[in-house]
Amino acid sequence: MTINAGRHFVTIDESAAGERLDRALAAALPALTRSRVKALIEGRRVALAGGQTIEEPSRKVKTGERFEVDIPEPEPAEPVPQALALDILYEDGDLLVLNKPAGMVVHPAPGNPDSTLVNALLAHCGNSLSGIGGVRRPGIVHRLDKDTSGVMVVAKNDRTHVALSKLFAAHDLTRIYQALVWGAPKADRGRVEAAIGRHPVDRKRMAVRKSSGRNAITDYWIEKRFGPPLHPIASLVGARLGTGRTHQVRVHLAHLGCPVVGDPVYGRKSRNAKAPAALVDFARQALHAAVLEFRHPTTGEEMRFATELPQDFSKLVQSLNSVK
């Protein structure tokens, strides 16, 4: 028995009241095993219809509750090594640090079955690559969106994968981004502390949530304004992550009223008639992971990696210097 990808709705009747959520959903959707349902819940793909995301498989259900189950498309076959160019900043027997280009997907997924960073890493590292991240995500400790460029660290063995994962989970490292945003934040620098969770309607988006979501902290500062001082058309902003939620920088900057230029999900086209065409038509989100600092899990050495803005991003920023 199979079940199609997409949204499925389950309403709890009296016979299931008081059951664990994973058990109740598995009974209502017999094509899914209980372990599969549990993975969907923990993967934030189950929510009260029109409401908050549920992350606890053991949650007791009530009569009349209606749940939305978002079943993803089947994952592609196991990735194969592909000899793709990598901009490697540092490498030793435990880890590898690289500068990911915009346009490269980190790991295979529906719509992007190959030519990903994972395919390139499999070719570069061979059998040494850590498998803890899963068959389709070997060595991957964190990721950047397809159209975000910048610094990433990859584990080359299981011990390093565990150690780096702990650093990311504890936020015991430094990650700094640069973003070109529409307008400018009201303050030259500040902190956004606003929980992020799945959008209540569009499950593919994240959103600032007042009554649900996970704590998220971003410190930001304005590096440069472009256009009239009081009403800039755009500004270059630095952002340091205090947490690491999905789409955090993009969501928090949009929450400030300054979405990232070119962001197809959280952005917008400028209504400012003075906005140059290069800014309006920028073909991707102008977001770059500029700095990554962490303690090497084996040597204990403090590592710091910083990268310049990629050419298309840098060229756009330079073109804005003449905007009045």
- What pLDDT does 173 receive? 97
Q: Could you read off the pLDDT of 281-313 as tens digits, one per residue? A: 999 999 999 999 999 999 999 999 999 999 999
Sequence-separated (6 or more) residues with CB below 8 Å from residue 272: 227, 233
Which structure tokens are listed for 192? 């956004």
Q: Going by CATH, does the domain composed of 88-161 fall within 3.30.2350.10?
A: yes
Domain 174-322 adopts which CATH fold? Pseudouridine synthase (3.30.2350)
- What pLDDT does 271 receive? 67
Q: Provide the strand spans (E) within 125-251.
A: 149-155, 174-182, 189-193, 196-198, 206-208, 217-226, 234-241
- What pLDDT does 210 receive? 84
Q: Going by CATH, does the domain composed of 6-71 fall within 3.10.290.10?
A: yes
Q: Cα-flanking dihedrals φ and ψ of residue 271, to 5°?
A: -95, 0
Location of each CATH 3.30.2350.10 domain in the chain: 88-161, 174-322
Sequence-separated (6 or more) residues with CB below 8 Å from residue 320: 226, 227, 233, 234, 276, 279
| Residue 145 annotated among the catalytic residues of the structure | yes
Q: Could you read off the pLDDT of 220-256 as tens digits, one per residue? A: 999 999 999 889 999 999 999 999 999 999 999 999 9
Catalytic site residue from 22, 94, 145, 263: 145
- What pLDDT does 33 receive? 85
Q: Which residues does residue 7 pair with via DSSP β-bridges, in sequence order?
A: 70
Q: Which helix (H) or strand (E) holds 318?
A: helix 311-319
Stretches in the chain below the pLDDT threshold 50:
none
Location of each CATH 3.10.290.10 domain in the chain: 6-71
- What pLDDT does 9 receive? 94
